[in-house]
Amino acid sequence: MDNLADKKWWKEAVVYQVYPRSFKDSNGDGIGDIRGIISKLEYIKSLGVDVVWLNPIFKSPNADNGYDISDYRDIMDEFGTMKDFDELLNGLHQRGIKLILDLVVNHSSDEHEWFKRSRGSRNNTYRDYYHWWEAERGKPPYRWSVFDVNSNAWQYDAASDAYYLHYFAVKQPDLKWENPKLRQEIYDMMHFWFRKGIDGFRMDVISVISKDPAWPVITKDILDKYYNGFWPSYYAKGPNIHEYLQEMNREVLSKYDVMTVAEGWGVTKDDVLKFVDAERKELDMLYHFEGMQLRHLPVQNGILPDPKYDLVAFKDIYTKWDTLFSEKGWGTIYLGNHDQSRMVSRWGNDDPGWRELSSKMLSTFLLTMRGTVYYYAGDELGMTSIKFDSIEDYRDIDTINNYQRILSESGDVIAFLEEQKIYSRDNGRTPFQWDDTIHAGFTSGKPWLKINPDYIRINAATEEHDENSVLNYFRKLVQLRRQNKTLVYGKYRLLDKENSKAYTYIREDTNKKFLIALNFSSATVTIYLDVPILEAQLLLSNYSDTRKSLIETGKLELRPYESVIYEIQLR
C-alpha cells in the first residue's frame, strides 16, 4: 500500500515528550507535577506541537520514577490528583493538542495489590498474575535483569518459597500475560483511560510481555548464535506476543481513534513489520534502538573523532529503517528521551561555540525525516548533559545499581562513571531550564535532581527573546513541516552516502522536492551533488547569512554544523 494514500493524524504529528518529574514544580517540593505542566500549557502550545506524551503519572513508590506502578487508575501523590489530571487533559484539548500516556504493563510495582496478594500464598486468585518458580524445582533457568545488582531476573521470595521474575528491578515483578484474566484487567484499565478521553498510549517495553512458559535453558552460546548475544532480542521473541497485541487491538484499540507507539526494545528490522503493518491490526508504530546503540568511537592520538561516532553507520541505520516502512507500516524518528542523554551532547557538540548550531542541525534532521517525530522537552532549548562526577549525584536506579554490581565484582567503577557522563539517563532528566533565576525557575525548593549550572545561559526566557535562538528555530521547523506534508509522507533518498561528515538527502513526492544537507562535524565539508539542479530556493538555514547558489557550482559547501533545507527543481 502507498503510504501517501493512507494519511493519518498521528503520522503527521510532532510528539512532544514531557518528563513530569522534571518539567515544572508547582508546590516547592522539588518534584515536577501536573499543576506545573498546567501552568506551562501556553508554552507548549507556542511550540506548535500536536501531541504530548507524558511519562508515567500513576501511583508509584518510584523505584524507577513511575515505571513501577502500584495503582493503574490513580495519580502518583507527588504529581497531584485525578482532578488535576482532568484539568490538564482539558487544557491540552482546548488548545488542539492531544495527550498520550505511558502504558507500563510488562511489570507492575511489587507494591501493587495484585502482587501483594500473589506473593502471599501459592494458592490465591492472584498467584497467576505473575511468574513464579517454586523453590523445590531447584534454581530457575537464568534470565538477565537490566537493573538487578546481580543481573539476575529471578528473585527468591520466602513468603511462598518461590522465585518471581523481574526483567527490570526487584521492585518491578513481570506480569503474566499468559493468564487471560490478567489480560482482561489490563484491557479494562485501558478502556478506563480512553473513556476519559486520552488519545493513545506509548507502550513501555511492550515487545517483551510474552514469555516462554517452558522456561528453556538459554546458554551464552544460544544467545550469541541466535540473538546477537543480546538478551532483549531473545525477550522480544516471546511465542505469543502477536496474539496478545492482536487481541488488545480487537478488544480495546480498534474501538477508539487513538495512536499507539511501542517501545521496541530488542525488536530487529526483521521483526518490526509484524508489530506495525496496519493489515495485521496490532500497533501503529514502534521506536527502535539501533541508532541509540551506536557508541562513541575511541580517541585516536589524543583526539576525539569528529563527529564522535560513525556517521556513515548512522546514515545507514536511518536509511534502512526508512526503507522498511516505505510500503507498509509507519516509522518514528527521535534522538533523545528520558532514557538517553541530551541530544546535543550525545549527537551534536555541546561546546559553547557549537551548541546552538549543532542543536539546530539535529532538530533539522528530526523534522525533515519521514515518520512521526518524537521530540524530548528541553532539546528545543539545546539543553546539555550534566555529566556528574560523583555517584552521589545520580538518582537513576540504572546507574546506581550497575555501579553497585561493578563494585561488588571489583570492576572498574572509575571507567564506569566516565562512561555514565556520556550515556547515563540522568543526563536527560535534569530539570527543565525556564529562566535564569534560582533553580532555573523549575522549583522554589530543592530540586530532586541537580539542575545543570548552564541554566544561566541556556533557558526558555532568554531564548524566547532571541529571534535566532535554538527555541525559535525549532518553532520554524515545526511550521515548515506542518506546511509541507512532503516532509511527512514523501519519499526519502540518501545522497553522498560515503561522506563521513555530512548527511544529505532528498524528500519528494509528485508536488514538491526538498534537498536537506546537514554537517555533523565542526569542519567545513563539500558535498558533490549527483543530481542536476535547475532551481533551488533556500527555505531554512541555521546560519543567518546567504550563500552561493548551488546551481552554479553543482556542489554544496557546508560550514561547521551547518544545516540547510532547499526546495528544488530537478532538471
CA distance 291 to 315: 9
Contact 52, 59 (CB under 8 A): no
Residues 67-96 that bind ligand GLC (CB under 6 A): 67
- Burial-class residue 571 by CB neighbours within 10 Å (0-12, 13-18, 19+): exposed
204 binds ligand GLC (CB under 6 A): yes
148 binds ligand GLC (CB under 6 A): no
CB nearer to Ca ion: give 33 or 339. Answer: 33
Of Ca ion, ligand GLC, none, which one does residue 84 interact with (CB within 5 to 8 Å by kind)? Answer: none
168 binds ligand GLC (CB under 6 A): yes
Helices (H), 145-198: 180-196
Q: Tell me how far, at minimum, the Cβ of 43 lies from ligand GLC, in Å.
A: 24
> C-alpha distances in angstroms, 343 versus 315, 385, 492, 508?
16, 8, 23, 27
Binding mask 328-347 for ligand GLC (x = CB under 6 A): ----------xx--------
CB nearer to Ca ion: give 30 or 560. Answer: 30
CB nearer to ligand GLC: give 339 or 356. Answer: 339
Of Ca ion, ligand GLC, none, which one does residue 204 interact with (CB within 5 to 8 Å by kind)? Answer: ligand GLC
25 binds Ca ion (CB under 5 A): yes
CB nearer to ligand GLC: give 322 or 339. Answer: 339
Q: Which three cell numbers stand for residue 75?
A: 495519580
Q: Tell me how far, at minimum, the Cβ of 64 lies from ligand GLC, in Å.
A: 5
Collapsed DSSP state (helix, strand, coil) of residue 191? helix
Of ligand GLC, Ca ion, none, which one does residue 350 interact with (CB within 5 to 8 Å by kind)? Answer: none
Collapsed DSSP state (helix, strand, coil) of residue 361? helix
Of Ca ion, ligand GLC, none, which one does residue 64 interact with (CB within 5 to 8 Å by kind)? Answer: ligand GLC
Q: Tell me how far, at minimum, the Cβ of 425 lies from ligand GLC, in Å.
A: 7
Residue indicated by cell numbers 506541537: 49
29 binds Ca ion (CB under 5 A): yes
CA distance 259 to 201: 7
Residues 92-121 that bind ligand GLC (CB under 6 A): 104
CB nearer to Ca ion: give 58 or 265. Answer: 58
CA distance 445 to 424: 25
Beta strands 162-165 and 502-508, pairing class: unpaired
Of ligand GLC, Ca ion, none, which one does residue 27 interact with (CB within 5 to 8 Å by kind)? Answer: Ca ion
Sign (positive or negative) of CA dihedral 29, 35, 39, 44:
positive
Give the residue numbers marked as catalytic. Answer: 204, 263
CB nearer to ligand GLC: give 227 or 376. Answer: 376
384-394 b/e with 16+ CB inside 10 Å = b? bbbbbeeeeeb
> C-alpha distances in angstroms, 513 versus 7, 316, 439, 502, 519?
19, 22, 45, 20, 20
CB atoms within 10 A of CB 355: 22
263 binds ligand GLC (CB under 6 A): yes
Which residue number has the CB closest to ligand GLC? 67
The values of phi and psi at residue 405, to 5°, are -60, -45
Integer-rounded Cα Rg, in Å, for the chain is: 24
CB nearer to ligand GLC: give 209 or 252. Answer: 209
Among 64, 78, 148, 174, interactor with ligand GLC by CB under 6 A: 64
Among 12, 27, 149, 500, interactor with Ca ion by CB under 5 A: 27
Sign (positive or negative) of CA dihedral 10, 15, 21, 25:
negative
Of Ca ion, ligand GLC, none, which one does residue 31 interact with (CB within 5 to 8 Å by kind)? Answer: Ca ion
Of ligand GLC, Ca ion, none, which one does residue 168 interact with (CB within 5 to 8 Å by kind)? Answer: ligand GLC
Q: Which residues of this chain interact with ligand GLC, rule CB under 6 A?
A: 64, 67, 104, 168, 204-205, 263, 338-339
Q: Which residues of this chain interact with Ca ion, rule CB under 5 A?
A: 25, 27, 29, 31, 33
